[in-house]
């Protein structure tokens, strides 16, 4: 029997296909991102839970070995994430790869995907497009990450935490003000919200609102690449302290680290 990679609803049970429901109903083992979430899904569908195996965390490779053995034994094994398609910023890739490496069959039970859904409703060019997963949490890495994203050709899609969304969109507006951004929140759910605006307009709108709630997917349209920040002049100041502060902001590092790098560079040029 193949490993069945099954997409589960993002938030609307009506999006589960009859084929996917049948696979859940006949599964002997379900490898789940979170067994508690999967139990709730099965209960909502009126299905009894088979053997549930937790498949997540830092020991994903070890767990993949155990699940792959169940596939080798001929059991009906289904891989699911909490919502959407497994392996798309969710656990599963090591298991799928292991099955391929061992010559075990893998089948797709296609269905809901926040990535595909967001692209389809964004009104932004889907080809070429880049999926970047989840954005970094810290401000410095986020800035560098967004600059790298803005240099990619085409449209970019990524997941963002609801409480960080306003800050991230404001940073996009600062770095690439010519871009259109589509905010997709709570896709397929009762309070679904889809807003397509120029980056600055969307940033201004979010600044006037309470922090968002729910799942957020951001779609950033294509445009001119941002200028190379490292090539831009720092300013008229000659103070090492002021220069290190400017470089710290630009590079996303601490002022102390920037100052130490400047001192090291100064020593190198004088030697």
Same domain, 143 and 175: yes
Last residue in a domain, options 185, 201, 220: 220
Same domain, 8 and 104: yes
Same domain, 46 and 134: no
* Helix, strand, coil % over all residues of the chain, rounded to 5: 45, 20, 35
Same domain, 128 and 170: yes
Q: How do residues 132-163 score in pLDDT, each as one tens digit?
A: 999 999 988 999 999 999 999 999 999 999 99
Q: How do residues 191-210 score in pLDDT, each as one tens digit?
A: 999 999 999 999 999 999 99
Residue 183 is part of a domain; what is its CATH number? 3.30.950.10
Query: What is the span of the domain harbouring residue 100?
Result: 3-112
- How far does the chain reach from its first CA to its final CA, in angstroms? 68
Same domain, 70 and 166: no
**What is the per-residue pLDDT for 119?**
98
Residue 16 is part of a domain; what is its CATH number? 3.40.1010.10
Last residue in a domain, options 112, 132, 166: 112
Higher pLDDT, 123 or 267: 123
CA distance 42 to 50: 10
Task: Tell me the pTM.
Answer: 0.81
Same domain, 120 and 105: no
- With a CB cutoff of 8 Å and minimum separation 6, the contacts of 238 are none
Q: Say which DSSP state 162 is in.
A: G
Same domain, 104 and 178: no
Q: Residue 246: pLDDT above 70? A: no
Other CB atoms within 10 Å distance of the CB of residue 18: 7
CA distance 134 to 53: 25
**What is the per-residue pLDDT for 231?**
47
Q: How do residues 8-24 score in pLDDT, each as one tens digit?
A: 999 999 999 999 999 99
């Amino acid at each position: 029997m193949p490993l069945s990679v099954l997409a589960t609803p993002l938030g609307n049970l009506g999006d589960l296909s009859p084929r996917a429901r049948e696979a859940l109903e006949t599964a002997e083992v379900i490898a789940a991102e979170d067994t508690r979430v999967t139990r709730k899904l099965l209960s909502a569908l009126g299905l009894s839970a088979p053997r549930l195996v937790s498949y997540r965390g830092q020991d994903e490779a070890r767990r993949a070995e155990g699940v792959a053995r169940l596939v080798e034994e001929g059991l009906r094994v289904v891989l699911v994430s909490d919502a959407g398609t497994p392996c798309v910023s969710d656990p599963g890739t090591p298991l799928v790869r292991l099955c391929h490496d061992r010559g075990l069959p893998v089948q797709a039970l296609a269905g809901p995907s926040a990535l595909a859904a967001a692209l389809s409703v964004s009104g932004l060019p889907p080809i070429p497009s880049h999926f970047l997963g989840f954005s970094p949490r810290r401000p410095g890495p986020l800035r560098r990450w967004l600059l790298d994203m803005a240099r990619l050709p085409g449209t970019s899609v990524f997941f963002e935490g609801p409480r960080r969304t306003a800050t991230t969109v404001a940073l996009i507006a600062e770095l690439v003000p010519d871009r259109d951004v589509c905010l997709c929140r709570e896709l397929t759910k009762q309070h679904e919200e889809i807003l397509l605006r120029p980056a600055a307009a969307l940033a201004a709108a979010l600044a006037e609102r309470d922090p968002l709630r729910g799942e957020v997917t951001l779609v950033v349209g294509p445009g001119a690449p941002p200028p190379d920040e490292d090539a831009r002049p720092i300013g008229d100041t000659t103070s090492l302290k002021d220069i290190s502060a400017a470089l710290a902001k630009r590079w996303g590092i601490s002022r102390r680290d920037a100052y130490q790098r400047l001192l090291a560079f100064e020593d190198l040029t004088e030697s």
